[in-house]
Copies of this chain bind each other. A is one copy, B any other.
């Protein structure tokens, strides 16, 4: 690997700052986490988006959340075909090895992946429709939900609605994994659908009784 470069200096400086302060003050906890292993209460599936930080929103301590982040917080359906499935591997590890009690899917406003999906569904993003587009093929997971939002009056309303459909799609697909389904049925695992508004700092939770996301 001859292409690797040194770390940008500003990151190096910040690392040394963290080491001398936050790490130093909590070294026994980090030591313990290393020696005894992690035991997170929940797995969170959220977006790669740089504006979404589930540990901040929920004041999480190191060791609390097992976090998978991908484009648009999507979980593909159960496909045990022997190929590489990063998201499915993360879910499998959290549920069957770590035995987390909660599985949170956290969607968010202004999601670029969801917007791309919407554009693609409207025929406005031919670059995402080619076979070679990884983003396009990834957003195919969400595409069938376009019908549910197509009649909304404008693009903004459609985006917000499709972002929430992404969360519901992931929850539905999670239930297609046998090890998730059986633990949900037995009460060992709880599924939770969340959506956060970046600009407003709002949080909505899906309520199956009402069939909609409600502000907390």
Assess whether A148 is interfacial by the CB under 8 Å rule: no
How far apart are A113's CB and chain B's nearest CB, in angstroms?
7
Contacts of A9 in B (CB 8 A): 22, 25
How many monomers of this chain does the complex have?
A: 4
Q: List 29 A-B contacts (CB under 8 A).
A: A1-B191, A1-B193, A4-B206, A5-B192, A8-B25, A13-B21, A13-B59, A14-B14, A14-B57, A15-B58, A18-B57, A19-B201, A26-B101, A28-B190, A31-B188, A33-B198, A34-B197, A34-B198, A35-B199, A43-B48, A50-B62, A56-B62, A67-B69, A71-B86, A71-B93, A81-B131, A89-B137, A92-B135, A97-B112
Could you list which residues of chain A lie within 8 angstroms of chain B, going by C-beta atoms? 1-41, 43, 48-51, 53, 55-71, 74, 76, 80-94, 97, 99, 101-102, 104, 109-110, 112-113, 131-135, 137-141, 168, 171-172, 175, 183-184, 187-194, 197-201, 203, 205-208, 216
